[in-house]
Amino acid sequence: MTKLSAQPVHSDENRTNNYPPLFIVLNASSGDKNAVSVENRLAKLLQDANQPYELFLCRRPSDLDAMTKQAVEQARDCNGVVVAAGGDGTIRFVAQEVIAAGLPFGVLPLGTFNYFARDNGLPQEVDAAVEVLIAGLRAGFERSVQVGQLNNQVFLVNASLGLYPQLLADREKFKQQHGRSRIVAKLAGLLTLLRRDTKMLLRIEHDGEKQQSAEEIIPASTIFVGNNQLQLHNVGLTSEAQSVQNGQLAVFALPPMSAAERIGVAFRGMLGLLDKSPDLTSFACRQLVVEPVRRQQQYVKVAMDGEVSKMRPPLIFRVGPQPLRLIAAPSGIET
């Protein structure tokens, strides 16, 4: 098996300027941007800034795990910063390893929606994102960012089970056929809502506002746990967005519905009126336990930050014990 290695793109003389080096994990499949052009642009911007760095180019999804581990190991050895260059799914994956290592973290958003970067005031254009990253790095400016956790996995934007993971899986297939854009993603979601139906009977237990435990059995098509104020604001869940700012997770559940009802909920979300949905159940908590009442399968399909996987229940959602040390723009830098 061929050992994966970083692209040797930093210069030796840059190592003498005492700037902390960047170890950039670039996902070639993120968004609709060309990885080669992004790689070339990063090389010019970082070399012009006399910034030491190494690039770990992930040409295949299977490269991401090994490349991330190498980047974290090298950053730990020389007090560097690991940077995720990709969409929310890539950022989540790299952040998982970075948090465990206790290292600072940088982001270059290259995805379709970029909720994490936008919520944290980071530019979506490569040039501006690099400028902010270098300025924050050299000013020593870090922001502690709350993360969510589903069992032993970190999520930054949201985590869910039920219809939403199925929507994401269908959307990925649709994007592979028709390209990556927000319009394509929304069209794929609409088709899923028309064709798919999910019915679950779940036991949920959570700590409420007064930290008192509440348990109930509910029929559901989707359980959605949010950790991103921007996304929650966009769909009209303003009070839930405030709960995230206050150190909690925002939870909402939808019951089994007809295709017409599912479409109605989706359009309310697109118009920022999801809070007007009559069947929506929502609350805030720091920990939520979800378990199917009737176990038909050993594993449950879940989604975290746009990536679908399977987990063994019970599913424990909680506020992560360690925040993310995000390199952000120092005051006076436009984002």
Query: Which pLDDT belongs to residue 306?
Result: 86
Q: Based on the domain organization, do 125 and 157 belong to the same domain? A: no
Biggest distance spanned by C-alpha atoms of the chain: 64
Residues 47 and 86: beta-carbon distance below 8 Å: no
Look at residue 2 and tell me whether its pLDDT is greater than 70. no
Number of structural domains the chain divides into: 2
* Residue 281 confidence (pLDDT) above 70: yes
pLDDT of residue 334: 56
pTM, whole model, 2 decimals?
A: 0.85
For residue 191, is it within any domain?
no
Residue 239 is part of a domain; what is its CATH number? 2.60.200.40
72 within some domain: yes
**Mean predicted confidence (pLDDT) in 236-253:** 94
Residue ranges making up the domain that contains 25: 12-147+323-327
Q: Is beta strand 200-207 parallel, antiparallel or unpaired with respect to 213-220?
A: antiparallel
3-state SS, one letter per residue, for the chain: CCCCCCECCCCHHHHHHCCCCEEEEEECCCCCCCHHHHHHHHHHHHHHCCCCEEEEEECCCCHHHHHHHHHHHHHHHCCCEEEEEECHHHHHHHHHHHHHHCCCEEEEECCCCCHHHHHCCCCCCHHHHHHHHHHHHHHCCEEEECCEEECCEEECCEEEEEHHHHHHHHHHHHHHHHCCCHHHHHHHHHHHHHHCCCCEEEEEEEECCCCCEEEEEEEECEEEEECCHHHHHHCCCHHHHHHHHCCCEEEEEECCCCHHHHHHHHHHHHCCCHHHCCCCEEEEECEEEEEECCCCCCCEEEEECCEEEEECCCEEEEECCCCEEEECCCCCCCC
* Residues 315-324: tens digit of each pLDDT: 999 999 999 9
Rounded Cα gap, residues 79 and 206, in angstroms: 39
Of 164-168, 219-223, 247-251, the poorest mean pLDDT is in 164-168
Q: Which of 34-38, 47-51, 153-157, 318-322 has the lowest mean pLDDT?
A: 34-38
- Asked if 90 and 232 sit in the same domain, the reply is no
Q: How confident is the model at residue 1, as a pLDDT?
A: 25
Same domain, 38 and 120: yes
| Mean of pLDDT values over 4-26 | 63
Asked whether residue 46 is assigned to any structural domain, the reply reads yes
| Residue 253 and residue 121 share a domain | no
Q: Are residues 120 and 157 in the same domain?
A: no
179 located within any domain: no
Residues 157 and 297 in one domain: yes
- Same domain assignment for residues 60 and 102: yes
Do 157 and 306 fall within a single domain? yes
For residue 4, being part of any structural domain is answered with no
Q: What is the mean pLDDT of the chain?
A: 84
Asked if residue 157 and residue 130 are part of one domain, the reply reads no
Does 201 or 17 have the greater pLDDT score? 201
**Is 174 within a domain?**
no
Supply the CATH number for residue 67's domain: 3.40.50.10330
Residue 213 lies inside a defined structural domain of this protein: yes
Dist. CA 69–CA 73, nearest whole Å: 6
Q: Give a yes or no: residue 259 inside a domain.
A: yes
Same structural domain, 105 and 157? no
In a shared domain, residues 212 and 130: no
Give the residue-averaged pLDDT of 36-41. Answer: 90
Query: What are the phi and psi torsion angles at 125 (to 5°)?
Result: -85, 140
Residues 124 and 157 in one domain: no
Closest of 212, 246, 249 to residue 228, by C-alpha:
249
